Chain A
Amino acid sequence: MFDCADVEMRELLPELAAGTLDDATRARVQRHVATCAECASELETLHLVRSAYAVAPTVNVQRIVAALPQPAPLAKHARVGHGVTRWIDWRVAAALTMISVGGLSLALVHRQSGEPAPRDSVAAVPTVDSQRVQPAERAVAGVSPSGAHDTTRPANPPGRVTAAARPKAQLVFAGGMEDMDDASIKALLGALDELDHAPVAPSEEPDPTPVLPVIGTSQP
């Protein structure tokens, strides 16, 4: 008793016997079986097994169906869908509230505390006096925007540039968002992004801002 060496054909024999092959594959396997004694013998065995187990007790379909649990009513699905929608609505409302409260709080904090905004961000805000927020190197060194020495403005001693020494930004947030045009909102959002990235150093701690050289001072 030998097995056919064509593994693919042999593996398809049960499906040929069960009638689950498509037409093209069935024809291909049948052609092989016609020329292969081993596969023909195995197919005969398969048919014998199938016929031996073909007789099965009949089942009463209606009795089984009557015993089944009831299908989920449509209303239940509808309630589920409504619940999901309500949950999403709640999340959207919460997110909008958080954004509104957070943005307003941030603006109020900046307005009331007088905390200067970092120089880079201030330059991007339209409401800021551009003459006062020129590059901090110039301000710290007492150099006017025009290049002349500005003796009216106190220059910090050489060393650190602290937050207190930075020019104050006039980050004004009067009224609501609806009062601002698109450009203003965009600029404000840019400024807020910059605030997130700007280093904030307590005055008593070393400021991470690099030491800037004093340019052209008349001090000895």
Chain B
Amino acid sequence: MTRMAQDHEPDDDSTDLELIARWNAGDERAATSLVARHAPALARFAVSLGQRTDVDEVVQDTFVRAFGSLHSFRADSSLRTWLFTIERRLILDRRRAARRRRDDASVDDADAATEFDALDEIVAEEAESRVRKAVDQLSRLQKEVFLLRVNEGLSYKEIAEIVGSTEGAARVHYHNAMRAVKESLYV
């Protein structure tokens, strides 16, 4: 089974590794290709993690941090998986910082149901709104695993790498999440 690439820039068929090599050699256009290729997925992932505002800023910070340590990127995982991992840490760090500032548990599993209010303005269809509610009722980890699997088509191995879990645990989280979503939608 071969997995196909997603969100590739139409005019650049170079692989991520080739683009990284070109950027390391001083070709700044390679950076444009890499950002254009992965930014949409990072924005989706940020939203799926409950990032309601400053998504653009989060995506930018992710790329800045990634390009600042591109020499440490290991080719044994995909660049997108690595970017997701960086973005996830950034979002969690921002939440912790915000929580410390407000001195309350602002974003947690318990109040996840409030996260989709702003997004509801964007997604008007009632079915999609119900799906959001169903997904947002999942635990944070279940939601991350579920959306990485469904939206990005990542393997359990890649997901485990991003969320810092095991492949088996990621599989269990996904199936539990799927069951919960179906029960929420159809029961």
Contact = CB atoms under 8 A, between A and B. Distances in A.
A199 B143 CA distance: 74
B20 to A, nearest CB: 10
Contacts of A55: 119, 122-123
B101 to A, nearest CB: 23
A34 interface: no
B6 A57 contact: no
A64 to B, nearest CB: 5
Contacts of A17: 150, 153
Interface stretch (B10-18, B24-32, B92-100, B105-113): B24-32
User: SS class of chain A's interface: helix, strand, loop or mixed?
Assistant: helix
A65 B131 contact: no
B169 interface: no
B149 interface: yes
Interface string A37-51: 000011001101111
Given A21-B4, A53-B151, A61 B56 contact: no
A52 B123 contact: yes
B59 A59 contact: yes
B162 interface: no
A19 interface: yes
B67 A68 contact: yes
Contacts, number: 141
Interface stretch (A70-78, A157-165, A202-210): A70-78
Contacts of A63: 56, 60
B23 A50 contact: no
B153 A58 contact: no
Choose among A12, A20, A41, A68 the residue with the greatest number of B CB atoms under 10 Å from its CB.
A68
A89 B43 CA distance: 50
Nearest to A73: B26
Interface in A58-116: 58-65, 67-69, 71-74, 77
Choose among B28, B40, B127, B150 the residue with the greatest number of A CB atoms under 10 Å from its CB.
B150
A56 B3 contact: no
Contact of B1 (A21, A67, A71): A21
Contacts of A174: none
Given A19-B153, A50-B150, A57 B43 contact: yes
A1 B182 contact: yes
A69 B146 CA distance: 33
A71 B60 contact: no
A14 interface: yes
A61 B32 contact: yes
Contacts of B31: 65, 68, 71
B40 to A, nearest CB: 7
B132 A57 contact: no
Given A52-B131, A55-B122, A42 B24 contact: no
Interface of B: 1-4, 6, 23-28, 31-32, 35-36, 39-40, 42-44, 46-48, 55-56, 59-60, 63-64, 67-68, 71, 119, 122-123, 127-129, 131-132, 135, 146-147, 149-153, 174, 178-179, 181-183, 185-187
Given A41-B186, A49-B151, 5 more contacts: A20-B6, A21-B4, A52-B132, A62-B32, A71-B31
9 contacts: A18-B153, A49-B147, A53-B47, A56-B46, A59-B43, A61-B32, A61-B39, A62-B32, A68-B31
